[in-house]
Amino acid sequence: MSLRLAAISLYLRLAQKPQLARARNPKRVRDGFERVAARWFRPPTDTNVIADRLYGPAGPIPIDWISYKRPDRRSVIIYFHGGAYIMGSRTTHRHIGARLSEKSGARVVMPEYRLAPEDPFPAAIDDAFSIYKTLLDTGYDASRIALAGDSAGGGLAFATFLKARAEGLPDPGCIVGLSPWLDLTMTQQSITRNARRDPLLPANRFRDVTEFYLNGGDPSLPYASPLLGEISNPPPALIQSSRIELLADEAEAMAEKWREAGGDVRLEWWRSAPHAWHIFAGIAPEADDAIARAARFIREKLKLEEEDPEDPLL
């Protein structure tokens, strides 16, 4: 572990984890996250961000089109930010989208899907699915779309694939889950096994956060817990996780389920990183490395390396 990530992990353990364990007001946690992101998280130079809106089931969904220099406009990554379905935004995760664009050569669409408790399940998945469908309707080829996200956003990426299948839409070119939250039933053993080891997530608050999101709904529904969905011949997937995070077993279980369903899946482990360490891109080398690996996977599966550099669309 680098000295930077070690210092970050210590800070998370001593300051952020106790704060999250005590927090009772989702809005205060949300506002605090926004302030931290505004101070510390920066996209690389030459990033271009265009604010836009796409059609959603409850009205227009704010999005950012994020690109680095001159990306391939035929390929797009839909990136769903993390934040336990109660916090996070385009602002807090814009730097991750920018680095994915930089390393993959694709554009990134980052939607600001509705958050709980104001808009509980299934608002987030309805918005996520709407973004995917809208891009298909506007002419994007499904094989040139990657679904990606971290933590809750990683769960949304897999859930969006399941809903697209159920609605008869074509599969995306690939799916990327960064420390994905895939099972809201909280039955995976790593939640208790890693309760002390995880530097960020307080295990005793999972039920509270789940209730904020589900609002009495069934946590075993596949769109809430994509690990429990029926899968056959799925598209290629990359899952990254840390051995010490609460969600480690979910990552391993999904990878195994993907393989058994006939899918091409790559499971990458970091030994001692905090949950969703990718948020520290530009600060910790482990975060930069993980995002670069994810971008290479997307580049490979969307066949971006086959593009003609003289193509006028570039």
Domains of the chain (ranges; CATH) run 3-305 (3.40.50.1820)
- Is residue 313 over pLDDT 90? no
pLDDT for 44 = 93
- Give residue-wise pLDDT tens across range 45-66: 999 999 999 999 999 999 999 9
81 is catalytic: no
Here the tokens at position 115 are 């958050």
What average pLDDT score do residues 251-268 get?
98
**Residue 234 phi/psi, 5° resolution?**
-75, 165
Catalytic residue among 245, 250, 278, 286: 245
pLDDT for 282 = 96
- Is residue 311 over pLDDT 50? no
d(CA 232, CA 46): 40
260 is catalytic: no
pLDDT for 71 = 87
Write the DSSP symbol of residue 226. G
CA distance to 121, 177, 232, 250, per residue, from 86 (Å): 11, 18, 31, 20
pTM attached to this predicted model: 0.95
Q: Name the pLDDT band for 70 (thresholds 50, 70, 90).
A: confident
- The secondary structure element, H or E, covering residue 80 is strand 72-80
Q: Name the pLDDT band for 212 (thresholds 50, 70, 90).
A: very high
pLDDT for 310 = 41
Give me the torsion for CA of 197, 223, 25, 244, rounded to 10°: 10
268 is catalytic: no
Report the alpha-carbon angle 304-305-311, nearest 5: 75
- Give residue-wise pLDDT tens across range 119-176: 999 999 999 999 999 999 999 999 999 999 999 999 999 999 999 999 999 999 999 9
Q: What percent of the chain has pLDDT over 90?
A: 93
- Per the prediction, the chain carries an average pLDDT of 95
What average pLDDT score do residues 247-257 get?
98
pLDDT for 72 = 87
Catalytic residue among 9, 101, 104, 151: 151
Any alpha helices (H) in the chain, and if so which ranges?
3-11, 17-22, 26-40, 90-104, 123-137, 152-166, 190-193, 206-214, 248-260, 285-301
Please enumerate in sequence order all residues whose Cβ is within 8 A of that of 178, keeping only pairs 6 or more positions apart, or say none: 82, 148, 149, 150, 151, 153, 154, 240, 276, 278, 290, 294
Q: Name the pLDDT band for 199 (thresholds 50, 70, 90).
A: very high
pLDDT for 73 = 86
Catalytic residue among 81, 93, 95, 275: 275
What average pLDDT score do residues 85-94 get?
97
